[in-house]
Amino acid sequence: MKIIDNALNHEDFTKLKDFMMSNCDWYFSETIVTGEEENFPICCFTSAFYDYKNYQVHCSSAYDLLLPIIEILKPIALVRIKANMYINQNKFVMHDMHTDSDKDINAAIFYVNSNNGKTIFLDGTEIESVENRLVIFKANTPHRSTNCTNQYRRININFNYV
């Protein structure tokens, strides 16, 4: 696992954060991890930036804002880039443990805003949500997300790549 604080320069980070906090198109998702449906009201909002499935590529018009992060990651190929927005539910909610992939590929989480939410790994490692932080790990590493209680929302961007 690798943690990079202040991953982006001030200008690139400000452009990305401003977009994510005000202009990003968000879509409601009734679940965060498959199988959590019985734990209602576990939900979030998502936004897809890049997705490669069945030899077809979906690429968002805001993709260029992510190029500075992609330059850090230096992927051979992208698999998926997806943003998550977890809403403050007036209580701390820990989501189910999951992996981003069962394949031996890479994952990264970019934290857009600072809050008391976390990413928690199976080995007990807890990564605090600090804006402009990038965490890189293997996509088959079990981890879980949380919401936050000290901000209106917690926003991060997930990268899966080779």
What confidence tier does 125 reach under pLDDT thresholds 50, 70, 90? very high
* Residues of the domain holding 118: 2-161
What confidence tier does 138 reach under pLDDT thresholds 50, 70, 90? very high
Strands 106-111 and 78-87: unpaired
Nearest to 156 by CA among 57, 81, 64, 75: 81
Is the peptide bond preceding residue 142 cis, with omega within 30 degrees of 0? no
Run of H or E including 20: none
What confidence tier does 60 reach under pLDDT thresholds 50, 70, 90? confident
Residue 69: strand, helix, or coil? helix
- For residue 106, give the CATH number of its domain: 2.60.120.620
Helical residues (DSSP H) of 19-159, grouped into ranges: 67-73
Number of domains in the chain: 1
Q: What is the pTM of this model?
A: 0.91
Residue-level length of the chain: 162
